Amino acid sequence: METVNKNTLSRRTLAKGALWSAPVLAASSTVPSYAASKPRPAMDIGGFISLTKDCTSGVLKFAGSGRYPRRGLWVVNADETSQATHAKITYYFPSAYADLRWKANASNGAWSVLSLDSTAPQQEGFVAYSTTFAGSWRYRADHRSLIATTGPSFEAHIDPSICQPKIEVYNLRTVIVDGEQVSAMRGPVVV
């Protein structure tokens, strides 16, 4: 008696299986490769820039120069290939401080001198002073951060007669990263 092996595939069985699996293969080929990976967290701006005042001597200081993470400006959740441009910091002071004349300190990096900025988004009761960054950025992989290579450092003289014990200020930080605007408004901060 002859034995038939039921585990042998015929061409007909093979063709049926191929037709059945073809739509599955076609559908899976259209799934983007990044769908299986986690999405990148939203980028955010970090940094530390101190603003101090001395009403007796009439000096207002803006200091962001120093080393990361103690001072400066950075973008978190960036990629190693990310490109940052058009960094800008805008400080909003009460309207009584509309005549501040800022000067760059020796430790100021590639930042323009803070100046009145009528193009900044307006905040009622406040005047805007902005500085822009024309320097380079470095990437720090362990923090997934793009870091401005230098920090801003300015000072202005204020009339002691208008210097208040507490001055509320805000700041708006903006950077374009890979064509996307990343910004954060901080404040009020009492100086």
What separation in angstroms does the CA of 15 have from each of 5, 12, 21, 26, 53?
19, 5, 10, 17, 82
Give all domains of the chain, ordered by start, each with its CATH number: 44-190 (2.60.40)
User: What are the tens digits of pLDDT across the range 18-35?
Assistant: 333 334 333 334 444 444
User: What are the tens digits of pLDDT across the range 122-155?
Assistant: 999 999 999 999 999 999 999 999 999 999 999 9
Question: What are 177's two structure tokens?
Answer: 């990263």
pLDDT surpasses 90 at 5: no
Order across the sheet with 84-94: list the strands: 115-116, 126-132, 84-94, 168-177, 180-190
Q: For residue 74, which phi and psi values (nearest 5 degrees)?
A: -150, 160
pLDDT surpasses 60 at 156: yes
The verdict on pTM exceeding 0.75 is yes
User: What are the tens digits of pLDDT across the range 68-106?
Assistant: 888 899 999 999 999 999 999 999 999 999 999 999 999
